[in-house]
Structure 1
Amino acid sequence: MKTAIVTGASSGLGREFARQIPKFYRNLDEIWLIARSSDKLEQLREELTRESGIYCRIYDSDLTRNYIYYHLQRDLEALKPDIRMLVNSAGTGCNAPVSQSDTDTLTGMIQLNCVALTHLTSLCLPYMNRGSRIVNMASAAAFAPQPGAAVYGATKSYVLSFSRALGRELADKMIFVTAVCPGPVETAFFRTAGDPAGGARKKLMAQPGKVVRKALSDVRKRRRVSVYGAAMQGARTAAKIAPDRLTDWFMNKMNTRSLT
């Protein structure tokens, strides 16, 4: 049974991945949709059934709670799916200095963005085979430290580093890993995280459909990192070649302006 699994599927980039994956894998049997909002997942299931006729299995659960993993492991062991694609899109953020942020918010970011992503990946790996893909949602925030969003940036750096290393580990098995690193995207993310820092970043806001289309194109090409837009490509290059002191100064300058 050829299966794709998408987390954060109820909205934003996760929803777009769920909508576009059937065009990427035309012989999929099922898509497993994971998110907290059961109503939105039901709406998405109806939409996907109508558009592509694919069967959707819903898991309306919180990835920071253990129950979802017991449920998934039970179904994985019983159904033994051939997971062709795993999309770890669930995530959260907080655009505020650490000193002004709630401790539970900060640790919750690490739990969802890093721990849950790692847990689910490990759980699914035994059911992935030659040609399978893992897509991990990182961010352009992974390219350099993010004053004003320090923990969020650090979690995305983890996702990027983890993805690149995991891709090397799985190369002999021909399982490919892509870290998706967009800049700001027009989704509900900022309703909880707060406005993106800096006016320039607001102007660079991308549409989720275009970001996902580019990501799936890069996944098809087996690229390790997918970056949407020339500006974010430039940011990635600059972060690689600029001295740490200069990078830190520039990022602090950008974020200080937005916080005052």
Structure 2
Amino acid sequence: MKTAIVTGASSGLGREFARQIPKFYRGLDEIWLIARRSDRLEELREELTRQSGIYCRIYDSDLLRDYVYYHLQRDLDALKPDIRMLVNAAGAGCTEPFAGTDPERLTGVIGLNCAALTRMTGLCLRYMNRGSRIVNVASAAAFAPQPGAAVYGATKAYVLSLSRALARELEKRCIFVTAVCPGPVETEFFRTAGEPAGAARRKLMACPQHVVRQALKDVRKRRAVSVYGCAMKGAKTVSKLAPDRLTDWIMNRINTRSHT
């Protein structure tokens, strides 16, 4: 049974991946959708069934709790699917200064962006075979430290580093890993994370459909990193070439402007 699994499927990039994957893998039998909001997942299931006829299995649970992993493990053991694609799109953000933020909120961001992604990947990997893909949604924030969004940037740097290392480790098994590193995207993310600082950053907001379309093209080409848009590609290059002190100063100016 050829299966795709998408976390964070109720909104944003996760939902868009679920919509576009059936066109990418036309031979899929099922898509497993994981997110907290059951009503959103039901709507998405109806949409995908209507448009592509694909069967969707729903897991409406919080990835910070153990229950969803037990439920998922049970179904993996019973059904033994051939996981063709795992999309780790669930994530949380916080675009506020470290000192003024509740530590529990920050550790929750780390738990979802790092620990849950790692656990999902480890759980699903044993059901992946030659040609399978792992898609981890990181961020252009991974390219440099993010004063004003320090923990969020650090978690996305973890996702990027992990993805690149896994890509090398899994190369002999022909399982391909892609880290998706967009800049700001027009999703619900900023409702909880906080609005992006600065008019320039708001102008860089990308359409989620375009980001995912580019990501799936890069996945098909087996690219380790997918970066959407010339501005973000430029930012990636600058982060490699500029001195650390200059990079840190620039990111501090960009990220903290709305907090001063």
Q: 1:91 maps to what in 2?
A: 91
Q: Do residues 191 (structure 1) and 191 (structure 2) align?
A: yes
Distance 2:105 2:233 in 1: 30
Contact 2:178 2:224 in 1 (8 A): yes
Partner of 1:12: 12
CA deviation after TM superposition for structure 1 residue 255, in Å: 2.3
Q: Partner residue of 1:24?
A: 24
Residues 1-31 of structure 1, C-alpha deviations (whole Å, 9 max, x = no match): 0000000000110000000000000000000
| Percentage of pairs with the same residue | 79
CA deviation after TM superposition for structure 1 residue 256, in Å:
3.1
CA deviation after TM superposition for structure 1 residue 82, in Å: 0.1
Q: In the alignment, what sits opposite 1:233?
A: 233
| Cα RMSD for the two superposed structures | 0.6
- In the TM superposition, structure 1's runs of 4+ consecutive aligned residues that sit over 4 Å from their partners are none
Is the 8 Å Cα contact of residues 196 and 255 (structure 2) preserved in structure 1? Answer: no
In structure 2, C-alpha distance between the alignment counterparts of 1:3 and 1:256, rounded to whole Å = 42
Check the 8 A contact 1:63/1:112 in 2, yes or no: yes
Report SS of the residue matched to 2:228: coil
Tell me what 1:55 maps to.
Answer: 55
Aligned counterparts of 2:64 and 2:150: Cα–Cα separation in 1: 21
Which residue pairs with 1:100 in the alignment? 100
The 5-angstrom pairing of residues 208-223 of structure 1 reads: 208-223=208-223
After superposition, give the CA deviation of every residue in 1:107-139 in whole Å (9 maximum; x if it has no partner).
Answer: 000000000000000000000000000000000
Q: 1: CA distance between counterparts of 2:70 and 2:256? A: 44
Report the AA paired with residue 182 of structure 1.
P
Using the size of structure 2 for normalisation, the TM-score is 0.99
Deviations 1:205-235 (A, max 9, x none): 0010000000000000000000000000000
For residues 160 and 218 of structure 2, what CA distance do their matches in structure 1 show?
15
For the residue of structure 2 that corresponds to 1:161, the secondary structure is helix
Gaps in structure 1 of 5+ consecutive residues: none
How far apart are residue 158 of structure 1 and its match?
Answer: 0.2
Structure 2 matches for 1:1-260, cutoff 5 A?
A: 1-260=1-260
Inter-partner Cα distance in structure 2 for 1:252 and 1:52: 45
The CA distance in 1 between the partners of 2:227 and 2:117, in whole Å, is 20
Aligned length: 260
In terms of mean alpha carbon deviation, does 122-131 or 243-252 score higher? 243-252
- Is contact 1:199-1:258 (8 Å) kept? no
TM-score (norm 1): 0.99
Following the alignment from structure 2 to structure 1, what is the Cα–Cα distance between the partners of residues 255 and 192? 18
CA-CA distance at 1:167 after TM superposition: 0.5
